[in-house]
Amino acid sequence: MSRKAALRRELLAARRLLTSEDVQKAAAVLSLAAADLPELTGARTVAAYVSVGREPGTHALLDALRARGVRVLLPVLMADNDLDWAVFEGAEHLVPAGRGLLEPDGVRLGPRAVLDADAVLLPGLAVDERGMRLGRGGGSYDRVLARLSSAGAHPALVVLLYDDEVVARVPEEPHDHPVDAVVTPAGARRFTPRDRT
């Protein structure tokens, strides 16, 4: 088993130990902290995702951003694991999709719609002291980050995690991209190029 796979397994096991109450409390704190993050307060368009299961909750944050007039783009998983995007029009417009996900029922905007985002909220399992993110291993967000990079787009990259998911080091590969900030219930932390050395 690779180091990434072993760490993913460990982190997912820890998430399974969280109670529904733990998840709800963390989601409320995360929503407030993330909504006040300068990268999001000044954003006109934010690419985000709908949390499921024991992921750090995004539902309240999505509603808060939308209420502020932010255009929120949500991913739609395509057959090849790439992501299309659609505008979030409220929880009543989310429909069940593959892999237990929820996605918007609106018009698909295409994979390049993410290039309009001022900030991108990325799902993850961990981030390290350098800002390197460990995802779930499906590769969907690797494609998104590669698309942003190849287009010369530089939105703020933000990941929401639980406190114990900020770790000393995550295994990385050449295609991995660092994030700009992590938000946990304990607060926000930004990363600079100096952190990556």
pLDDT in tens, the chain (197 residues): 689 999 999 999 999 999 999 999 999 999 999 999 999 999 999 999 999 999 999 999 999 999 999 999 999 999 999 999 999 999 999 999 988 889 999 999 999 999 999 999 999 999 999 999 999 888 899 999 999 999 999 999 999 999 999 999 999 888 888 999 999 999 999 998 756 55
Positive or negative torsion for Cα 175, 79, 57, 46 = positive
Q: Measure the CA angle with vertex 163, ends 158 and 164; round to 5°.
A: 115
Residue 95 to residue 15: CA distance in whole angstroms: 24
Here the CATH number for the domain that contains residue 13 is 3.40.50.10420
Residue 150 to residue 168: CA distance in whole angstroms: 29
Q: Radius of gyration (Cα) for the chain, nearest Å?
A: 16
Residue 197 has what pLDDT? 55
> Which residues, at least 6 apart from 155, have a Cβ–Cβ distance to it below 8 Å?
47, 117, 118, 119, 120, 148
Residue 173 has what pLDDT? 86
Residue 11 has what pLDDT? 96
Residue 60 to residue 91: CA distance in whole angstroms: 10
Residue 87 has what pLDDT? 98
pTM higher than 0.85 for the full model?
yes
Q: Taking the mean position of all CA atoms in its chain, how far away is CA 67?
A: 20
Range of the domain at 141: 3-196
- Residue closest to 73 by CA, chosen among 138, 30, 118: 118
Domain count, the chain: 1
Residue 100 has what pLDDT? 85
